[in-house]
Chain A
Amino acid sequence: MSRFALPRWSLIAALSLLTLAAAVGSLLFGAVDLSVARLIAAASGDGDRVASIILFDLRLPRTVLALGVGAMLGLAGAALQGYLRNPLAEPSVLGTSNAAALGGVAAIYFGLAEIHPVVLPLLATGGALLSLALLFILSGRAESPLTLILAGIAVGTLAVAGTSLALNLSPNPFAAMEIMTWLLGSLENRSFEHVWIALPCIAIGMAMLLWNGRALDALTLGEDAAQALGTDLRRTRLRLLIGTAIGVGGAVAVTGAIGFIGLIVPHLIRPLTDRSPSAILLPSAIGGAALLTLADLGVRIIPTTNELKLGVVTAFLGVPVFLIHLMRERRLW
């Protein structure tokens, strides 16, 4: 048992409280300085119009998305690390987030994003689903994780190449800038239309991945032993693929690429559990929700000339986690 392990329900309760605090903070703070009293009045339905618009049309969807996307990324990272039995796995290893990003980039490149705000996330979700089909075709019926990683690299590389092509051929610097900005990942100016696109995808994704917990535990003994314990490897992989592609694809579709949440959250959670793959799934989802919401809060309250992009902040967060791992590996800490 790890030195820091907590009873399962205490851990879930503590993380839920942290997430709740982050969500409340996300509703209270933003670019416009509104008093708590005005926000409470707006929430109870008899506030002024400005406060009401800021709370319900700007901060609420942004907070809901931060929670949902963070939870999806944290969970997908934990599930993939368990399935591939590799602590460095993260949601992008299957290439679906790159494919979703390419869908979004295509929407900007061809000017379709200007038709309606939901065109971009819809095309991005389409990109993720297309990559899922490609993954099925490429990885075939084989049950080894290696074929899945190879197929994921192929799909991801193709999507990144497509994105680079769009940047390369972009008609003017402004289009290129718009693509780059979207790729950095952000929750700025997201509305409930985005929420309705992302949340169903995230719900399907999370259900599929949480369902895999036992199979992931059995897989710690290797594939033969897992099967001999009654695990259906094909169905396990099917749930993993569909869950990651639809869930992460839907999340990236509305936020752009936000890296490292799926990688670092399971590492932060693992020492607090008995380390079995199933035990970190739900806590990683809650922890991911808390971390992304806090990061998004940080983006809004750190004073910079341009608003910091969320993907940039999460990338910086990833570095210390790796340094700690490196130091542990070298037994310096």
Chain B
Amino acid sequence: MVSLVLDHVGVTLGRRAVVQDVSAAFGAGTLTGIVGPNGAGKSTLARAMLALVPASGSVSIDGTGAAAMPRAELARRIAYVPQGQTLHWPLTVERLVGLGRLPHLAPMSRISDTDAAAIERAMARADVLELRDRIATELSGGERARVLFARALAVEAPALIADEPLASLDPGHQIDVMDLLRAEANGGGLVITVLHDLTMAARYCDRLLLIDDGRIVADGTPAEVLTAGRLRAVYGIDARVETGGDWPTITTFGRAR
């Protein structure tokens, strides 16, 4: 069973302490949302989990320190969908999804049957099989988001971290992406995602970490974390949180006065 443990993690970029003293443990089969205002340190925290920024404290995956782990080894354990749908070169969808197999390839080897099967599975799960021969840079935002997810799924890592995967997607595609993340967790994956949409976070996530100014303000189920008082304190907004349904729904009214 995969586990990810953060122990007093801090990140300083330039002179600013962006993440401070974050401790949390994550396990298999759970979808965790990281929420908080712009600039709270959510993305930096996600990057620290992947050892993409130098961090104090310790990040360990399955009991081993991430910073000391060889990059390819870490890459086989945590797949990552970065923010912003970056694509610098007009690759075909199949070729792009195939990049997810890079951590598994031995030096100078070609893609094996196992890799090809993993690429097919990933494309099927993200529903991009019919886009296989299209050029990825020419896809719509929704298609592109699914393709980049397929690329991360092709790694077949036990853990997946997605940074703001819903940005610039319409409501239908947002639901598609959240369904994908949910399915990964239901299949036994450790899934962590940075989100801005609180109702989506409340609806899909098992657990939420509310971050403000680099620190964890609240950690628990969506109903425990998302209270009107906390939203006012952290986001500076007046909001109504309705808890009567299957998940809390949040209606925002305006800036808190």
Chain A positions within 8 Å of B, measured between CB atoms, are: 1, 82, 85, 214, 217-222, 224-225, 227-232, 274-277
Contact = CB atoms under 8 A, between A and B. Distances in A.
Given A227-B52, A230-B103, A222 B82 contact: yes
Contacts of A231: 71, 102
Contacts of A230: 70-76, 102-103
B102 A218 contact: yes
Contacts of A276: 89, 91, 95
A220 B75 contact: no
B91 A224 contact: no
Contacts, number: 79
Interface residues of B, number: 34
Contacts of B103: 229-230
Interface of B: 47, 50, 52, 70-76, 78-82, 84, 86-92, 95-96, 99-100, 102-103, 105, 133, 148, 151, 155
Nearest to A229: B102
A228 B155 CA distance: 11
Contact of A228 (B82, B89, B96): B82
7 contacts: A220-B88, A221-B148, A224-B52, A224-B80, A229-B102, A232-B71, A274-B91
A112 B73 CA distance: 53
A68 to B, nearest CB: 23
A277 B50 contact: no
A224 B91 CA distance: 18
Contact of B86 (A221, A228, A275): A221
A228 B99 contact: no
Given A220-B87, A230-B75, A277-B89, 18 more contacts: A219-B88, A220-B91, A221-B82, A221-B99, A222-B86, A222-B88, A224-B47, A224-B80, A228-B50, A228-B75, A228-B79, A228-B80, A229-B100, A230-B70, A230-B102, A232-B71, A274-B95, A275-B89
A228 B52 contact: yes
Given A1-B133, A230-B75, A231-B71, A274 B86 contact: no
A314 B145 CA distance: 42
A85 B71 CA distance: 22
Nearest to A279: B95
Most buried by A among B50, B84, B88: B88
Contacts of A214: 102, 105
Contacts of B90: 275
State the 10 A-B residue pairs at the shortest beta-carbon distance, nearest first: A230-B72, A230-B75, A222-B86, A228-B80, A85-B88, A220-B89, A230-B103, A224-B82, A230-B71, A229-B102
